[in-house]
Structure 1
Amino acid sequence: MLSAGQTLYDRYQLQEKLGHGAGRQTWLAMDLTAQSQSVIVKLLAFGEQSQWDDLKLFERESQILRQLDHPRIPKCRDSFSIDDRILWFGLVQDYIPGTSLKQLIQEGKRFSEAEVRQIALEVLTILRDLHGLNPAVLHRDIKPSNLVLGTDQQVYLVDFGAVQDRANVEGATFTIVGTYGYTPIEQFGGRAVPGSDLYALGATLIHLLTGVSPADLPQRQLRIQWRDRVTLPPALADWIDQLTHPDLEQRFQTAHEAIDALNRSETVFSFPPVERPKNTRVQLMRSKKRLEIVIPKHPEEKGLNLPGLIKLGVASLGLTFIVPMIFLILFFGVLSSATWILILGALIFLLFMSPTFQRTYVKFDRREFVVETQRFKTASNRMTGITRDIREVRRDSNGLITITSGPYRTGYRLHQFGEELTDFEQAWVLKEIRSWLKLK
């Protein structure tokens, strides 16, 4: 019998039992060999109520988690077996501090439209990465208890005990797994595809919105009847209904398709008002389909200072007097050719160094985004990316606005700008970008 305080495998000291089922236990434990870090230990007792199929699922979870390296999925640290009158198989994972969505529901939380949409986008992004692997990884048991809202306010997908790492093969049989109410009909028939995870996500969103498990909601022609319990814009409700359509062919086929459809929806989401800083020279144009920001580089952006004013004055003087003088010199031949070449070079240097003629353009649409610095309307630094691949937008320790983007499989890229902005302008621009992208 396992109990708190017991040490398994000479390494993992059990702290608190988090859950249990037929032949299974989940514990919060302390890793005594890793600076006493908290970990999750999942245990399967073989030979009592568990069967070979349970052991195969347990081993599959361990194998797949060892191959995954995703920021929103707990990493597998170790696996072991112990024989203490009962043969136990153990799986050790990172501990994610936070609260499951199921616990939040049980505590009486009702999720708002904006919160549900944000959760949907975060989970769909995880599924897009998993389904895009070769072979695709299917979770097969998405539900509120397997989604953790971390203390960093990001959603994590946990419990891969039902995971499948290969596509269905004609005539092959698989262990039927899933949770009633969240599992689509094809999965009960032993068939799971990416659309099956999307159905489970849709049923989860219905639970978050209504506070009622989809298993306890009425059905009509196998469709969950939930819309009369909430007030939602029709576009968002239609989107959830398509996620949970009983006919697999009528559902979204991929997480990518579901994300695009959600972004195209006409649902209006409420965000805190963003106040435009007074006297800002930043231009910001926003519509439903586009967001464009123009940031001029000017000494006034960081406060007037003597060097900046001198540089601006010299550049202005060059435009006003030196250019006409050069033409006069060339025309009348007052100076030698070498002399006026030096003068012309100095003028060009001053003009390009002058902040007056530099602009940073940041442009978003629903397909791509661009961060570009221009001098005299000539691009000197251009960074591009795919809008749907944006992971976060934040202000880094160097005071730059940083856009993190990139597919999970190929690594992330950083796009940085905004050194010309004041603190108030940075906060304003950052909030506008996040709200347009619907990021927190």
Structure 2
Amino acid sequence: MTGKILAERYEVQRQLGKQTGRQTLLARDLQTQKLVVLKQLFLGSDFEWQDLKLFEREAETLKTLSHPAIPRYLDYLEIDEPDSKGFALVQTYVEGKTLEEHLTAGRTFSESEVKELAKSLLAILRYLHEQNQPVIHRDIKPSNILLHSRSGNSAGQVYLVDFGSVQNQAAKFGGTITVVGTYGYMAPEQFGGRSVPASDLYGLGATLIYLVTGLHPTELPQQDLRIQFADRAGQVNPNLIDWLEWMTEPSLEKRLSSAEEALRSLKNPRPLKKTPMVLEPSGSDIRLIENSEFIEIVIPPEGVSFGLITLFTAALAANLTLLLRFVNGEMDEQHFSIAGSLSVAVAVMFLFSTFRKLRLRIDRQQISSTSHLLGWKWNYSIEPSPTQDICQLEIEQIESKVSQIVIQAGNQKYKLGVKQGLSESEIEWLATELSQWLGVKIQRTLTDGKKKISM
């Protein structure tokens, strides 16, 4: 394909991209000697008229646009050659790598660079949405954003490309639901064929979430269609977290509605909603340690209850009686061994209640739950899990008034509750602290038998 000349004017340099029924080429305009981008749509067995409508719409839209950060329309061709028949759109070539390529190569973006990119892209969207016939891109994502000439603390010149999914108010399909976009970056209303300017804001918000977490939105957990990303965003300012949550609000009525409004709120953040403070319960012996690197909860020994003292005393008395009977030959060795094992079990219970501590620790790498007894340490009922797997924090009320904290990490559940001697007020306090550190909202459920109900 390299060196081939199309329409007696455009010499192909190399292929930039390819997908079913279409390809994108880098070519040289032999009249101007400038590099151009040539997008081809083929008339093949998989051709659909809907594809041609979108292709023609992209060309007609680019004709009407004039912005330094948007490719400029140059030409529209009909290709009629023995090995390829179809259409081609010629537009200006923008040198640079996509955000997707930068991230795949391991590049990271500082908070200031993320804000800089956000402002540049919002300026482009403001231009598009304020046209006489508002232009909605409908496919804002990392692979459709180019960066060029990064220098110093600047993220680089930003370009928005690929208008193949564009919609404007004058070019809606009559009675036809058109679902276009990319899963993970599409606003919920786009799944029903509806697109408004705020739909582009959602795509931009999801793109910026990818920048601050290094994960595609599809790789992040969701709750009520909201992308749960705050705990993966490192040390990003809470105001930026709140703004990104506002940009990706599933409900159109609650989402930022325009690029202008989004720019204003980025520069002047709204007051953050403060989580109601839950004070440490008076007289609690639980030790809570937290900083930017980890949160740790240490639960002291439960203490010896009156019932356990009674049981231990009875076991000790019985053991002495059995020992005397064994010495006097009134009991065989097997029965004495069984009785002794029961006494040892009671002694172990006494030892655990008196000296064993439980420690739940979450740092940036993993969550672990361990037991500590007289210098010994072992995992408490469950193995450690990666912190990035934490997807849910729950206060589960079991049947009557027995509650417990449940932290879901992948397929594993870490639990703290009445079994560890926690009171209801301690459960509320610890759950609130965990919620704030993790950036995960508390869910409340009621389990009645095998049925779990959200509260």
Q: What TM-score range do you get, normalising by the shorter chain?
A: 0.5 to 0.7
Please tell me whether residue 181 in structure 1 is matched to residue 184 in structure 2.
yes
Deviation of the 1:170 alpha carbon: 11
Counterpart of 1:241 in structure 2: which amino acid?
A: E
The code of the aligned residue for 1:166 comes to: Q
Query: 1:62-96: per-residue Cα shift (whole Å, max 9, x none)?
Result: 00101111111010100101112331210011011
CA deviation digits over 1:27-65, x for unaligned, max 9? 11111111x211111001023322000000000000010
The answer to whether the Cα contact below 8 Å between 1:119 and 1:155 also exists between their aligned partners in 2 is: yes
Instruction: Give structure 2 stretches of 5+ with no counterpart.
Output: 151-155, 272-455
Counterpart of 2:69 in structure 1 is 72
Is the Cα contact below 8 Å between 2:165 and 2:181 reproduced in 1? Answer: yes
1:19 counterpart letter in structure 2: G
Matches within 5 A, 1:351-430: none
Q: Residue 365 of structure 1 aligns with which residue?
A: none
Which structure 1 residue ranges, 5 or more long, are not aligned? Answer: 268-440
Q: Which residue of 2 aligns with 1:146?
A: 144
**Hey, what's the Cα distance between the residues in 2 that align with 1:90 and 1:51?**
16
Structure 2 contact 177–192 (Cα < 8 Å) conserved: no
So what's the TM-score if we normalise by structure 1? Answer: 0.58
CA contact (8 A) 1:38 1:94 kept: yes
Match among 248, 252, 265 for residue 248 of structure 1 = 252
Report the alpha carbon displacement of residue 172 of structure 1 after superposing the two structures with TM: 3.5
Which residue of 1 is the match for residue 121 of structure 2? 123
Name the CA distance, whole Å, in 1 between partners of 2:127 and 2:105: 31
Q: Within 5 Å, which residues of 2 pair with 1:102-113?
A: 102-113=100-111
Give identity over the alignment, percent. 50
Contact 1:223 1:244 in 2 (8 A): yes
User: Secondary structure of the residue that 2:189 maps to in structure 1?
Assistant: helix
User: Which letter maps to 1:222?
Assistant: L
Deviations 1:218-269 (A, max 9, x none): 11111111111122111110000000011111100100000000010289xx
**How much does 1:110 deviate?**
1.5
CA distance in 2, matches of 1:66, 1:103: 28
Whole-angstrom distance in 2 between the partners of 1:169 and 1:98: 32
- Does the Cα contact within 8 Å between 2:57 and 2:171 map onto a contact in 1? no
Question: Which residue of structure 2 lines up, in the alignment, with residue 46 of structure 1?
Answer: 43
Q: Please tell me whether the aligned partners of residues 97 and 151 of structure 1 are also in contact (alpha carbons under 8 angstroms).
A: no
Q: 1:91 is matched with which residue?
A: 89
In structure 2, the partner of 1:194 is: 197
Is 1:62 aligned to 2:62, yes or no? no
Alpha carbons of structure 1 residues 213 and 187: separation in structure 2 relative to 1, 3 Å: same
What CA distance in whole angstroms lies between the structure 1 residues aligned with 2:25 and 2:212? Answer: 30
| 1:99 partner amino acid | K
Give, in angstroms, the shift of residue 151 of structure 1. Answer: 2.5
1:311-367 per-residue CA deviation (whole Å, 9 max, x = no partner) reads xxxxxxxxxxxxxxxxxxxxxxxxxxxxxxxxxxxxxxxxxxxxxxxxxxxxxxxxx
Q: Report the counterpart of residue 264 of structure 2 in structure 1.
A: 260
Measured at CA, do residues 117 and 51 of structure 1 come closer, stay the same or move farther in structure 2, by a change above 3 Å? same
Distance in 2, Cα, partners of 1:224 & 1:68: 33
* 1:89-129 residue CA offsets vs partner (Å, 9 max, x unmatched): 10011011111111001101111101110000000001011
Count residues with an aligned counterpart.
264
| Aligned-partner Cα distance in 2 for 1:227–1:10 | 54
Query: Is contact 2:217–2:227 with CA below 8 Å preserved after alignment?
Result: yes
Distance 1:173 1:215 in 2: 28
| Partner of residue 217 from structure 1, selected from 216, 220, 245 | 220
Preserved contact between residue 144 and residue 161 of structure 2 (Cα < 8 Å): yes
CA apart distance, 1:168 = 9.2
Change (3 A) 1:120 1:46: same
Q: Secondary structure at the match of 2:168?
A: coil
Q: When the two structures are superposed, what TM-score results if normalisation uses the length of structure 2?
A: 0.56
How far apart in 2 are the matches of 1:169 and 1:99?
Answer: 32
Residue number among 238, 243, 246 corresponding to 2:242 in the alignment: 238
Task: Return the match for 1:24 from 22, 25, 29.
Answer: 22
Q: Which residue of 1 aligns with 2:230?
A: 227
Please give the alpha-carbon distance, in whole angstroms, between the structure 2 residues aligned to 1:167 and 1:79: 21
1:165 Cα deviation after fit: 1.2
